[in-house]
Chains A and B, each alone.
Chain A
Amino acid sequence: MREVANILFGAAFTVAVSVALGALLVVRLRLTLYRWEAELIEFVAGAGCLSFLIAILCTLHIARKGVFQWGGLAVIALALWQAKGAPRRKSLPAVPLTWMAAFFLIFSTFFIYYFFNALAPEVSPDGTGYHLGNVVRMWRHHGFDWNYPSMYAYLSQGTEMLFLVAFTFGRHSAAALVHFAWLCTLPLLMVCWGRRFGFAKAGLFAAILIFASPVIGKDGISAYNDLAVATMIYAVFYLLQVWDESGSSNLLILIGLLSGAAYGAKYTAFLTLPFALAWVWFSRRHFPNRRNLLCLLLPALVMIAPWTLRNWFWVGNPFAPFFNSWFPNPYYHAGMERIYAESLRHYTGMKHNWEIPLQLTLRGGFDGGIFGPVFLLAPFGLLALRFKSGRRLWLAALVFALPAYLNTGTRFLIPSAPFPTLAMGIGLAEVPAALPVLMLFHALVSWPPVLSTYCDPWNWRISSFPGRVALRLDPVAPFILKSIGDFALKLPIELAVPSGERIFSFAGRPEAYIDRDIIVSYESTLGNLANDILWSPQAHKPANAQHFKFLPVTTRGVRVVNIASGTDFWTVSEMRLRFQGRELTRSPAWRLSAWPNGWEVQLAFDNNYATRWSTWEAIAPHARIQVEFPAAERVDEVVLECEPAWSARLQVEVLLDTGRWVPLTDTPELVKTDFAPGIRRAATREMKALGLRFLLVNEGDMVYADMKKYPTFWGITQLAEANGTHFYRID
């Protein structure tokens, strides 16, 4: 039970510090808020501030338990001292008691079910993968781990900052409980909105639709960040309407702060700030002025700054891991970004787009979760367009649904979901008994055991009530293992891999549970390189040589330039220069360069067929690979040993004394060649040189069959196997 106490303390302490910070802020800004509403807004605003402060501590590498503990207690003490003698806040307009009772009955029932699920060991894929994987690394390093290359480490991590505080005291489940706090905040805030703006029943109805929604419940009990983002966005929308009434510039500061914090929580909330700016700009009630906009913009920029500046200095790309074409850097390839983004943008398995509404509401097999069948009635929300509030709700719904175009997962619609739900409540409010009936029906069909009877079997959802394991009365390992097969490899890995050494994996792993860093194939340039090396014996063993022959020239430089466009990558395993049939000896004084992806140009000059330089971008004119000599050399042939890129059109150019590059030939002779044997050994040797001596390979990975058949040729030994994942050591 001590473990449970630690978990509860970790989560409760984080929430308490957030509320305290928020309370201090609200008082400083002299904002007038109603009871209930104030506490919720204080939590949301305080969490944004806490996240900002922890990000700074992480940058300075002083994110330690003592700092959190004493700093947090000081903030709580200050807030309590400030609250002493403060006047009691006014209540929001009343709601009929029967409505309130029904709301709290349903809310409490789901709350208990959710609470025990959040308290149980964390087993969500992204939660145990990168959300808490990043948190564990930060916890180990007392701040950001600048040496760990992963696209997920470059994302803004505002919610993870809160997780870090909770994790320090209560580990994984404490972090999940913090996210659960966001899940509870959102519907309560919706109720407040309804009461404040005259749509109390619609607010209660929508709050239950959101809270009981299966995908929202599952997401909210996991160490994800979607509910934090959704709540911040919703709070911005809420406060903008409060600002419409009050016109307080100080309120704009809070709105700006929340807009920035939303971006800090997740990049997909990037529209929050433009939305708020546009709202203020187009507000008819208060004549827009520069001061108002600055009140909004500056706090937002301050909250965004830790993430953009961190990535700017760390990766050279303020928006990493996106926009790598605009901000080329050696940590994440633009081509990998494109492949990754494409993979998220399409529904797989669906035959027609008409299936999307059913997938989102009833089935959930292809898009990872459902909102519930009642959401099929969302078009009735259009009836709310009669009201100004309804029009605003639909505007927000459309704006905040836009990021879902970039990722088809159901949970990417969560930030937008409260708005059409409220609109539905407003639209159907005048239909007798419609709201209570629908509310009860939704609660019934969203109740996890009922849900399992009609949704797709692999729909992402809460599927059990893990009461005993949540209270740690049952051992946690079997529970985790049931959802995360790789957990079985934790012990073999931690026994075999020395502390500080990294493991390579083609697929993502539950990093939060494995006390070693894992380099994943698609998460960084290092991962791409390791992946490419291991694939070389099968996927791109160099079997072709392109010979460009020309009359002998004396030159200070040679380059091969592409002059065509294509969709594939141009790769070069080795670039060799010859004169009269003999290769020019490569000298450390040679100056090598390439564009794009010049950082990896040495891979084409290392005499190793397991490595290759690649544009890592779609082939474009002016892509080049270039050598400059310290003194003039005689050359009459350039050989590119590679898999030919058929859409590329290459020409050899030499450097004149005048500094001009002159084309010599664009006609290669393609020769199929038997290269030196031992490419498997070359691949593993190179992996070791990269510091990657251990491999995690799934049976579905391309190399697995070959590794299983020829372990001696690879020079590897299998150390363990569990649930289709094989753990190898390179000997």
Chain B
Amino acid sequence: MRLLYSHFVIHRILLLVIGALLTVSCGREPGVYAAPPQRSIDLGPDPDGPHAFVNMDDPVVDDYLVNDISPERGFRRWAFTHPELRFRTNDVRHLIFTAEFAIPEVTYKVTGPVTVSYAVNGRTLGAIRCDHAGDFRLEKPVPDGLVEPGKFVRVTFEANPRWISPDDGAQLSFLLRSAGFIH
């Protein structure tokens, strides 16, 4: 308060400050609201959820992503530490699991050759050794009984070694282009 009585704060400045405060106080106050009428949640089906195969630029790709795949839209997405996807197919005969991915030059320079293993419903199906930077495609028949018709199939990848960010420790495995089951 002493400052207010000093010559440092002259009346004109004080008036200006009060004026400014009054002006700022004129923004609208949001207030308090009642709970609104409740909407029904179930409005019928979505486009029958995940299918057997997905490209990363599919508009419904988010339905397939379970874990550790980058959310940014694009035709390739980063797979992080434990990437996981889900699929669903009714025809489970003679299934072949397939995926397309890339090891970028920038991470390969640091990691060297990378081994990517892949598992379906928790059971390891195979592995591929990537001894150069570039695009890779894997295909592996799925044993009968491993995939049940109409039920979600979980697919996981493990890359070793992974690129580790020196800044924040974030880990990058590879760039995924597509994955799923074909006949």
A592 vs B33: C-alpha distance in the bound complex, in angstroms? 5
Q: Is A138 an interface residue (CB 8 A)?
A: no
- Across the interface, do A593 and B27 meet the contact criterion of CB distance under 8 Å? no
Tell me which of A543, A588, A676, A709 contacts B35 (CB under 8 A). A588
Q: CA–CA, A199 to B36, complex, Å?
A: 70
Q: Is the CB–CB distance between B34 and A589 below 8 Å?
A: yes
B94: chain A residues within 8 A (beta carbon): none
Q: Does A482 contact B (CB under 8 A)?
A: no
Query: Is the CB of A605 closer than 8 A to any CB of chain B?
Result: yes
Q: On chain A, which size bracket covers the interface? A: 35 or more
Identify which of A318, A588, A597, A676 contacts B30 (C-beta below 8 A). A597
List, in ascending order, chain B residues with CB within 8 A of A706's CB: 59-60
A327-B26, A677-B42, A682-B43 known; A593-B31 Cβ under 8 A: yes
The A interface, classified by DSSP as helix, strand, loop or mixed, is: loop
- Contacts A606-B37, A713-B46; is A538 near B59 (CB within 8 Å)? yes
- In the assembled complex, A680 has its CB within 8 A of some CB on chain B: yes
CB–CB B32/A593 < 8 A: yes
Decide yes or no whether B1 CB sits under 8 A from chain A: no
Residues of chain A within 8 A (CB-CB) of B37 are 606
Asked if A607 is at the interface of the complex by the 8 Å CB criterion, the answer is yes
> Within 8 Å CB of B145, what residues of A?
none
B66 → chain A, closest Cβ, in Å? 7
Residue of B nearest to A684 (CB): B43
Q: How far is the CA of A607 from the CA of B42 in the complex (A)?
A: 10
Q: How far is the CA of A605 from the CA of B33 in the complex (A)?
A: 11
- Known A678-B42, A678-B44, A680-B46; judge A598-B27 contact (CB<8 A): no
Chain B residues, CB < 8 A from A594: 30
Task: Give the chain A neighbours of B59 by CB distance below 8 A.
Answer: 538, 705-706, 709
Please report whether the interface of chain B is mostly helix, strand, loop or mixed according to DSSP.
Answer: loop
Report A-chain residues with C-beta under 8 Å of the C-beta of B27: 316-317, 326-329
Closest to B45 in A: A677
CA distance A198 to B36 in the complex (A): 72
Query: How far is A728 from B104 in the complex, measured between Cα atoms in Å?
Result: 41
Which residues of chain A are within 8 angstroms of B36 by Cβ–Cβ distance?
Answer: 602, 605-606
Q: Does any Cβ of B come within 8 Å of A702's Cβ?
A: yes
B26 touches A677 (CB 8 A): no
Taking the nearest CB of chain B, how far is it from the CB of A573, in angstroms? 11
CB-defined contacts of A317 to chain B, threshold 8 Å: 27
Given A538-B59, A677-B44, A682-B43, A593 and B26 contact (CB-CB distance below 8 Å): no
Q: In the complex the two chains form, is B45's CB within 8 Å of A592's CB? A: no
**Closest CB-CB distance, B8 to chain A, in whole Å?**
22
Contacts A678-B46, A706-B59 hold; do A598 and B31 have CB atoms under 8 A apart? yes
- Interface residues of chain B, those whose CB is within 8 Å of chain A, are 23-24, 26-28, 30-47, 49, 59-60, 62, 66-67, 73
Task: Give 11 new A-B contacts, CB below 8 A, not counting A329-B28, A675-B41, A679-B43.
Answer: A318-B26, A538-B60, A541-B62, A589-B35, A591-B34, A593-B33, A602-B33, A605-B36, A677-B49, A686-B39, A710-B60
Interface residues of A (CB under 8 A from B): 312, 316-318, 326-330, 537-538, 541, 543, 586-595, 597-599, 601-602, 605-609, 628, 672, 675-682, 685-686, 702, 705-706, 709-710, 713
